[in-house]
């Protein structure tokens, strides 16, 4: 069994990985704290205390995480404060959001192919980009569906 200190260290390590891969540092710390929380839901004050930061810095991170669907606000009987938790389907939602990015990149690659010379250097690169993103966009929905099926089978 781990100690509270080991859990905090693991939380910070996850936050570091998330921030190294593009997530804002405070958003990454809040995300990691929500994941490692031993409570079903946390207030912004709980998160601020856990991370030793101000509630103001937590507020922006929570807003970002709820806007992308990783964290959700949940009711708490008898409390006047908002409580937050990791969504049950957070990872599939995040991956699904990537479809929008992939679709935008695909459109840009298609446009790039149209406006570049057939005998130039750019068009083959753009064609490969287009083909890659078209492939990925076609694969993501089936991959997410297989994950949901596997998850449902495990919880039966």
* pTM greater than the 0.95 cutoff: no
- The domains of the chain are located at 4-86, 90-154
Token couple for 118: 């057939």
Q: Do residues 80 and 113 touch, judged by C-beta distance below 8 A? A: no
Region 79-91 average pLDDT? 92
**Secondary structure (DSSP) of 22-51:** T--HHHHHHHHHHHH-SSS-B-HHHHHHHH
Phi, psi of 134 (to 5 degrees): -65, -40
Q: Which CATH class is domain 4-86?
A: mainly alpha
- Over residues 31-67, the pLDDT tens digits come to 999 999 999 999 999 999 999 999 999 999 999 999 9
With beta carbons less than 8 A apart as the criterion, state whether 65 and 27 touch.
Answer: yes
């Amino acid at each position: 069994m781990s100690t509270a200190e080991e859990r905090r260290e693991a939380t910070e390590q996850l936050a570091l990985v998330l921030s190294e891969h593009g997530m804002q540092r405070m958003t990454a710390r809040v995300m990691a704290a929500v994941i490692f929380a031993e409570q079903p839901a946390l207030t912004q004050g709980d998160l601020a205390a856990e991370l030793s930061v101000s509630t103001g810095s937590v507020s922006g991170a929570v807003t970002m995480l709820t806007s992308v669907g990783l964290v959700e606000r949940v009711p708490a009987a008898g409390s006047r404060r908002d409580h937050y938790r990791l969504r049950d389907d957070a990872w599939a939602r995040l991956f699904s959001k990537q479809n929008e990015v992939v679709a935008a990149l695909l459109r840009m690659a298609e446009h790039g192919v149209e406006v570049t010379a057939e005998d130039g250097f750019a068009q083959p690169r753009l064609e490969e980009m287009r083909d890659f993103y078209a492939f990925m966009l076609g694969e993501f929905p089936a991959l997410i569906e297989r994950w949901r099926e596997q998850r449902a089978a495990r919880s039966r």
